[in-house]
Amino acid sequence: MSEWVSYYRSEAPEEEEEEEQEERGAEAVANYRFSGRDSLIFLVDASKAMFESDGDGVTPFDMTIQCIRSVYTSKIISSDRDLLSVVFYGTEKNKNSADFKHVYVLQELDNPGAKRVLELDHYKGDEGRVLFCETFGHNADYSLGEALWACSNLFSDVQVRLSHKRIMLFTNEDNPHANDSAKAKLARTRAGDLRDTGIILDLMHLKKPGGFDISLFYRDIINIAEDEDLGIQPEESGKLEHLMKIVRAKETKKRTLVRLNLYLSKDLSLSVGVYSLVQKAYKPYPVKLHRETNEPVKTKTRMFNGKTGSLLLPSDTKRAQTYGNRQIVLEKEETEELKRFDSPGLFLIGFKPLSMLKQHHHIKPSQFIYPEESLVSGSTTLFNALLMKCLEREVMALCRYTARRNTPPRFVALVPQEEEVDEQKVQVAPPGFHIIFLPYADDKRNIDFTEKVPASREQVDKMKEIIQKLRFKYRTSSFENPVLQQHFRNLEALALDMMEPEQAEDLTVPKVEEMNRRLGNLVEEFKQLVYAPDYSPDGNAAKRKQASDGQTEKRPKVEISEDELRSHVQKGTLGKLTVPVLKDACRFYRLKGGGKKQELMDALTEYFNGH
């Protein structure tokens, strides 16, 4: 019988990694299967004004192409199933399904790929400007309404289900139809049609001489997502970094992990969406290919009887859990029933001061909740009232949290967060509550710490000086995973036929020279205060190593006695011990238990039953 470990989480690293991979893969497939794919059209103004530099040598058009290229490469890595398209308007030539003049569809809505990135690279820089003029030309007699209509047709022609439709309009002309009221009216009408069909239209306005006035025309044109604020418009983009910051903030649909009710009492509830603000980044899964045809292959798992070799169907297997030297056998339906504790939701228990939440309570990344007005009318108003009061009184809400019907409840704290915007009025932090997962009593470990060695006031003051000299403002966005970045750059170089990959800078490496320059003689002064005059860390380490080489191999020290282990085996409670303790015990008794927790438990159980 297979061991019943599907619900009780193993502490073995190998099993954790497998579970994480399966969970991430299943979540990605579910996202696309049930909610559809994200789609994004880059609608780019190709008039002559976009190709004029303001003195720094970079034109608005060149900035736009670099920005689009960056989105393409990031989508290839993060979500290659999404659909992207590039459409120019204001060109001499035209290419679109409705044969509108001066509208050219460079790339239809399709998955991002290396060929598309290479095509965009042709129009970068001075050579790209000349090539664009020769290939497409410029014409100011365009209709923005027809360009929007062409984009709407691109969405309609897609056969797959789309969960999110967005158009990003790049231009540095704040009043394109100032002398033609008919075209201006048509553009407003088409923009209204987009709004009615759920297509979001964002304006990425670029720098122009005299400034970009959004109120002249585009305030009536753009329509934004429900969770974005029209009242706070970012400033015009004069630099690529600023443009990229705005595009990155809007390019991806904010997907909810789950939508559920927050129950304030038996008769009062509001609807919220749960979001994941932080998620560990992984290398993409390798795809298995047939060695001769390079076609993707599918993996199928089958179970066989270990004694007879006959094929087993799902109905032929059961789950079991060892308890008190007995195998407790359960049917599949019974194991599923054991997972269901309560209906999904957040149930308010009470409020506590924020000062009671400690850093060591952190056991997993937090989640974030935001009101869902579409499910329960009035949720936003009630949510904001609760948020304002919690911020005002500096309290957190304690809740019982059940994310889904088959997940166990968790004890969580809802920590309020106020909205923050930067100098360009771009949102840095959204308003809402962070869901902080609190530990149960079972999650805590009692560890015997060594006695504290008291430090003198002079030593403490000297260390304070060192810490003060090495302080810096930490931002998570400033540090990228160097292993992941180099991996992606290697893939990009292969896909785009580059001579060699660009080397990723490892920003996690300490800047030793700069640190030494800042510290000066403080480190030597601290050493003199703490260590003996003849103390040498390197020399002592070498002596310890030489001494250890000459000694015979020692058996590992076991933190738990033989009587305690025997008691755990008899009671069937070995599962309460951690994997490192079980491994040390197996090494001590020279048992081969493997790397999984259940295998270690089985080895110890068999040993003590025989002795």
Please list the active-site residues. Answer: 33
Sequence-distant (6+) residues with CB within 8 A of 556 are 584, 587, 588
Beta strand 83-89 with 37-45 is: parallel
- Find out whether 252 and 202 touch, Cβ atoms under 8 Å: no
Closest CA to 158 of 72, 30, 31, 36: 36
- From CA 383, how far away is CA 369, in angstroms rounded? 10
Residue with tokens 């309460």: 576
- From CA 505, how far away is CA 524, in angstroms rounded? 31
- Residue 190's identity, in one-letter code, is R
Helices (H) and strands (E) in the chain, counts: 17, 19
Distance of CA 115 to the CA centre of its chain: 27
Q: Which two tokens stand for residue 318?
A: 């059961």
Sequence-distant (6+) residues with CB within 8 A of 39 are 82, 83, 84, 85, 109, 155, 158, 162, 164, 165, 166
- Find out whether 258 and 241 touch, Cβ atoms under 8 Å: no
162 CB neighbour count, 10 Å cutoff: 17
Q: Which two tokens stand for residue 49?
A: 């004004």
- From CA 414, how far away is CA 532, in angstroms rounded? 50
Q: Which two tokens stand for residue 61?
A: 């058009």
Sequence-distant (6+) residues with CB within 8 A of 69 are 117, 120, 121, 124
Beta strand 410-417 with 420-421 is: unpaired
Question: How many Å is the maximal CA-CA distance in the chain?
Answer: 97
317-to-305, 309, 320, 333, 420 alpha-carbon distances in Å = 10, 14, 10, 12, 54
Sheet containing 162-171: give its strands across: 103-110, 83-89, 37-45, 162-171, 199-205
The H or E element that residue 144 is part of is helix 144-157
For the chain, state the CA radius of gyration. 31
- Find out whether 205 and 236 touch, Cβ atoms under 8 Å: yes
